[in-house]
Amino acid sequence: MIGIYYLFICFFMGFSILEPLFGDMKVFTGKTFSKKQIVLSSWYIRLPAYFVTGVPVLTWAVYIFAYILRNTANPLGYANVIVIIAATVFCSVMLVLLLKKKVSRFKGETDKISSAEIIMTGFIVMLSMYLMFRSLGMADGKLKIGLSVFSDFSTHLSMIRSFSHLGNVPTHYTFFGGTDVKYHFMFQFLCGNLEFLGLRLDLALNIPSILSLVFSYFLLYVLTVKLCGKKAIGMVTLVLYSFRSSSAFFEYVLSLPEGEVWSTLTNKDICEFIGTTNHEDWGLWNLNVYANQRHFSFSLTIMLLVLILMLPAFYEGCIRIKNYFTENKFSIKEYINTSFVTNEGWVVKDYKSCVFAGLLLGLSGFFNGAVLIGTVIILFFIAAASDRRLEYVILAGIAGVLALLQSKCFISSSLFTPQFFYGFLSEPRTLFGTLDYVRRMMGLLPLVLIIQLLRVKTMHRYLMFTFMAPIIFAFTVSLTPDIAVNHKYVMIGIMLLDIYAAAFLVDLFEKKDVLYRAVAVLLTISLTITGFFEFIIFSRKNTNERSIAYSYEDDIMRWIWDNADKDDIFLTANYFLTFGGYGNSMVLSGAQLYNGWEYFSWSAGYDVGERDDLEISIYSASDKESLYADVEKAGVDYIVIDRFNRDSDMYELNEALIKSSYLEVFHTDNGEDRFSIYDTSKKITVIQD
């Protein structure tokens, strides 16, 4: 199947770029950042690095060629033919050249994988597959979407289908049709292209999602071992990453009636996410995020790879400064002179890493913009204490230019409107309100981190503050109208800080005293029990019985794909995926909706007010003249009427006027459930029967 071959060639493209560029990828897993020898298989960095390098290169190439060929009969088809053939030739040539060097790049790397790592890898793969297929799959000819993800999947699946069936290049946001696209869409384009190449929709989304999550685990493991030098810490970090720390479980248990705790916890009908802070019922902090926001893991993998590439300069700077002050008295002035006013502090020694990291980070901007911003925040503080700072400047310059270029191409207005917004989702948004919010949301994790902060060396203490930077950003700055989207910055920070929480737990457990080990076990349980229980909730919430079943394709979708142009805009009720209704077909068709579910457009930064007014005015118009004028102003090509419009509490539908004004080009059913599409380019002058 061509879709599978596309993913296969993505790996080989990454191989063809990275192996010549870095000589041999196993150099990254032979030593810690502090130059201590470790036995770590390079497969844990190779596979993720190949994937997140090859995918952006090929996917952007397909998109650019589809744009160039947008006026041809099949832009996406021609673009894929060009890119896949060119990539195959390039990779074949590079493979031959690398084989001629007769360098054993992979020999012995599999042997380095320990039994514990095999178990760990199996856990990661099974967990990732379970999360993705549990929340999205096919059964009985129906597309089954899990109860915990169906809402956000409205936009994700709509965008994917807009690429695979309607060729949405140049790209518009399907829930606010006819305008620019402020939402990062390239992962959806990747999945849409895979469906276009023959993969079934659920597989087109699940396969790259599974690979992305697995590889984010792999690189977090590599980063942890390189920072701490112990595989055990890496494995505990992955456990903490999987099952979040929070006081939610304990508060939930205490809220239950006496004698009903066990029966409630084991009740399969209990399927709501727990927690008392705002939006925890969304599954805002647990594994559901990775099932819901599939593009998040892909960009996290890029972030982790960039950190692995750039941290050696930080270590060089810290070690050099430490060695200097072992022989000289410390002072702020002397530190500034030693750190900043020296060649070592600025000179570039590794152009390859910083240029590659800048290109990779820049290309990731429209895969997930929040991760790009979070990575830049972390790198800024790392650069402040590093040697070779010009490498960070080069990285930031390349990434910034690429991100700016993309935003200029896709966004017609300002991308962000930064505002000071203290407190994130805490209530009240005061110092004590924020501290209480952090306590409830993170549980014992802050306490463990404070203890570890006092125990580690200065260099790691600084890194801990650096990893906290995205969290501080989330609690003080808002870039979009919806502050809840800042949760990704918090998750980035917590993921990295989990490394130091894991180091504390492993250090406790390695002590021979039974009491220390008991404390380590109890702390581990306390830090993970909320996340583990919410994993159970996720499983209950996303059963086949509770999932929302949709037609993989139906008459409405088929009509749109056969008759509508990619730029056609449909005026509809405020649709999103839900239980039943023809609106599901409209969303899953990938058609451009004039005013889809408002939360999605509002949170992405669109001004929905004018479209609200025009939607109401069109559906409730009292005469043809005003109807024609409003339709022309809105620029809609089709008007949809179904039960949602008839039952609307926003307006009183004047269906007879619309029916007498435009030709009905498609309909299903009759009566209140009748679904009609009217073509606004086909005005009629007589009233239809």
pLDDT of residue 623: 92
Residue 99: pLDDT band with limits 50, 70, 90? confident
| Residue 490 structure tokens | 């918090």
CB 551 within 8 A of CB 139: no
Q: Helix, strand, or coil here: 231?
A: helix
* pLDDT over 60 (residue 162): yes
What burial class does residue 244 get, using C-beta atoms within 10 Å of its C-beta: 0-12 exposed, 13-18 middle, 19+ buried?
Answer: buried
What would the pLDDT profile of 182-198 be if each residue is shown by its tens digit?
888 999 999 999 999 99
What would the pLDDT profile of 244-258 be if each residue is shown by its tens digit?
999 999 999 999 998
Least confident of 94-108, 174-188, 283-297, 427-441: 94-108
- As a whole number of angstroms, the distance between CA 178 and CA 569 comes to 7
Mean confidence (pLDDT) of the chain: 92
Q: What's the CA angle centered on 303, arms 299 and 304, to 5 degrees?
A: 120
Cis? peptide before 428, omega within 30° of 0 = yes
pTM of the model as a whole: 0.95
CB 682 within 8 A of CB 659: no
pLDDT of residue 322: 87
First to last CA, the chain: 50
Mean per-residue pLDDT for 209-223? Answer: 97
Least confident of 17-31, 64-78, 241-255, 531-545: 17-31
- As a whole number of angstroms, the distance between CA 171 and CA 567 comes to 9
* pLDDT over 80 (residue 103): no
* pLDDT over 90 (residue 60): yes
More confident residue, 108 or 570: 570
What would the pLDDT profile of 492-513 be if each residue is shown by its tens digit?
999 999 999 999 999 999 998 8
Q: Beta strand pairing status for 477-478 and 548-551?
A: unpaired
What would the pLDDT profile of 407-424 be if each residue is shown by its tens digit?
888 887 665 678 899 999
- Under CATH, to which class is 553-683 assigned? alpha beta
pLDDT of residue 664: 94
| Residue 140 structure tokens | 């009985």
Mean per-residue pLDDT for 84-110? Answer: 86
Domain locations in the chain as residue ranges: 1-113, 234-541, 553-683
Within the chain, how many helices (H) and strands (E) appear? 28, 10
Q: How many CB atoms lie within 10 A of CB 617?
A: 18
Bridge partners of 641, per DSSP, are 676
Going from the C-alpha of 202 to that of each of 76, 189, 192, the distances in angstroms are 20, 14, 11
* pLDDT over 50 (residue 688): no
Name the nearest CA neighbour of 410 among 200, 230, 159.
159
Widest CA span in the chain: 97
* pLDDT over 80 (residue 427): yes
Mean per-residue pLDDT for 323-349? Answer: 86
- As a whole number of angstroms, the distance between CA 677 and CA 662 comes to 9
- As a whole number of angstroms, the distance between CA 651 and CA 442 comes to 44
CB 204 within 8 A of CB 191: yes
* pLDDT over 50 (residue 689): no
CA 4 and chain centroid, separation:
22
Q: How many Cα atoms within 13 Å fall on the side-chain side of residue 27?
A: 11
pLDDT of residue 90: 95
* pLDDT over 50 (residue 178): yes
39 contact partners, CB below 8 Å, separation of at least 6? 112
- As a whole number of angstroms, the distance between CA 5 and CA 536 comes to 35
* pLDDT over 70 (residue 360): yes
pLDDT of residue 102: 66
Q: Helix, strand, or coil here: 525?
A: helix
- As a whole number of angstroms, the distance between CA 561 and CA 552 comes to 13
* pLDDT over 90 (residue 66): yes
CB 399 within 8 A of CB 383: no
